[in-house]
Amino acid sequence: MLNRRLGVSRVLNGVYNGVPPTILPRLRVKNMCGIIGYVGVKSAGPILLDGLRKLEYRGYDSIGMATFEGSGITLKKDAGRIDDVAKREKFGEMTGNAGIGHTRWATHGGVTKENAHPHASCNGDIVVVHNGIIENYSELRTELVERGHSFRSQTDTEVIPHMLEEEMRRGNGAEQAVRNVVKQLHGSFALLVLCSKEPDKIVAARRESPLIIGLGKHGTYAASDATPFLGQTKHVAYLNDNEMAVLTRGGATYFDFNGNPIRKEIAEIAWKAEQADKGEHDFFMIKEILEEPAAMRSALLQDKKAFTEFAQEIASAKKVMIIACGTARHSAIIGKHLLDRLAGKQVEVMIASEFSYFADNLTPETLVVCVSQSGETADVLDGVRKAKAKGCRVLSIVNVVGSTLARLSDRAIYLNCGPEVCVAATKSFINQVTIFYQLAYAMRGAFDEGVTELTKISELMLEAFKRNNERAKQIAERFVKNGNTYYLGRGVNFAMALEGALKMKEISYVHAEGMPAGELKHGTLALIEQGTPVFLLNPTDYTYYDTLSNGLETKARGAVLIGVGNKNNKAYDEFVELPEVPEIFYPLLEAVPLQLIAYYAAVARGRDPDKPRNLAKSVTVK
């Protein structure tokens, strides 16, 4: 057959999978899937489909849903875009009051209908969606096949419904069956289980993959993050590692994997549903760029005492290591410059995926500061756990309140930029950089001065947009057919060169490379030829003349030189003008036109800037 109400205690202000059996045991990978479940008085189908659309930003290549329809469980799934699959599989006909859904992002294995989730037991009475990876999948599958189970996919997930089927044959209910099975699983998982014998409940379980419970007036939700049900409820509970929840239409009960009851604090998310909507804009990216001035001011809404204590812990630490990935790492490089120049504090920045290889020699004297928008980045979390194991204190700069990173950290500062749906980070980058500026001010006892100065800069960001929106479009369209683009900068502008290049390549698929301008002559200059676009991040700061000299080297070899700064130069073929500000603040203004140029390049090339291929917003894969 396939077919405690709220007591709000506080308000929050910020927010396989087809791996071959011979390979799987050697991997420690998490996938970038999204899961959602609902049980309540409404039809689950429309709620699940809407939730899956809101999970698109996490990245996916196939989707599926299962609902209890009265006579049994209906399961529909396929590879492809959500709207295409929903129409083809007639998701709209799924009207049961309980169901689960999944967006799969294949880290290994084929993108096929068979590998899409949900996965079912042999008799079809049990369906499961899963985010994570089961490391002992190969052994479990072999044992299950020997006992007569038939598998339809190459995924690790499919062992779970078969194991649950065996447990329920022994007379266990769904909750106890899940409890017995998760104890046999090695690896990471966020699970949602729907059983035809207990159709009025969903069982959820978590280890190392995010899972959040939503408590609403018309039912109870579970999802990878709050975005899918934000329009239905803002009241949430967070599952920690090795915890379970049983969802019914009246609420949820919580247990550890040994069956001990857990009392959960119910939190309220302050985000508004419309913040995760495009509104009148064609894409989330342009909407979120326009939100940057307001987002930046929200980043400054920090408790002065708590923020200063955070800053002083950095100031007093014997050694500070900042770990991050992608755009967050670029903000950390800017932070390194700011803490040094404004507060006299030298820190080290490491790519999070490399940090673990240096963890053996960590000591409790090292303070680890993590930067992540989602708070679920696998490489960052792996570094946190290794740092904690060595006795290090961990601080975090994160957007999503209640995220795994926030809960693992000894202290957390929130970006307060609201939901960011576009895969490419824009306003979260601005807020990360803003936090580093404010930390530098707070470290020297000038918290209030920092708020004042940064508020002024936020007001100039709109001016930077107005000056450069049309210009950015023209520049993007001029160079849209170029195969290679280079971004050069020195000092703090080197980080902006990295960020500008990342934005260009990740959403427009134009190869772009950012580097310190002084490194140009150590190899990359050989690639410059007639017509090569070179962006020169060159405001009139202490690096101006050296950077200009490097730009002229490229121009002499045929490059088209695009200057980005507050002072034009006859050497520039194109110029992106920034408002005049104290030199230390130019990175915040440089970000705006660089983001716009990348955005318009993507649009001109017919790309979807919100959902670049092969990438995901919440990178829970190592």
Structure tokens at 82: 């959500």
Q: Which residue has the tokens 């803490």?
A: 339
Q: Which residue has the tokens 């030298």?
A: 346
Judge whether 392 counts as a catalytic residue: no
Name the residue among 212, 134, 53, 617 with its Cα closest to residue 377: 617
Name the residue among 314, 381, 322 with its Cα closest to residue 345: 314
* CB contact at 8 A, 45 and 96: yes
CA angle 496, 597, 522 (to 5 degrees): 45
Q: Which backbone phi and psi does 618 adopt, to 5 degrees?
A: -100, 100
Structure tokens at 247: 């969802």
Cα separation, 451 vs 447, in Å, equals 6
Question: Pick the catalytic residue: 30, 234, 617, 622?
Answer: 617
Q: Is 577 exposed, middle or buried (0-12, 13-18, 19+ CB in 10 A)?
A: middle
Cα separation, 328 vs 260, in Å, equals 38
Helices (H), 317-446: 326-343, 352-355, 378-389, 404-408, 427-443
Question: Pick the catalytic residue: 30, 33, 287, 345?
Answer: 33
Name the residue among 67, 39, 34 with its Cα closest to residue 51: 34
Cα separation, 140 vs 144, in Å, equals 6
Pairing of strands 198-207, 560-565: unpaired
Residue 539, preceding peptide bond in cis (omega within 30° of 0): no
Cα separation, 233 vs 272, in Å, equals 10
Q: Please name every residue paired with 204 in a beta bridge, in sequence order, or none if there are none.
A: 192, 245
Judge whether 33 counts as a catalytic residue: yes
Cα separation, 503 vs 526, in Å, equals 24
Cα separation, 114 vs 185, in Å, equals 22
Cα separation, 297 vs 451, in Å, equals 9
Structure tokens at 299: 């980043």
Q: Which residues of 19-31 are buried (b: 16+ CB within 10 A; e: fewer)?
A: beeeebeebebbb
Cα separation, 346 vs 286, in Å, equals 35
Catalytic residues, which ones?
33, 617
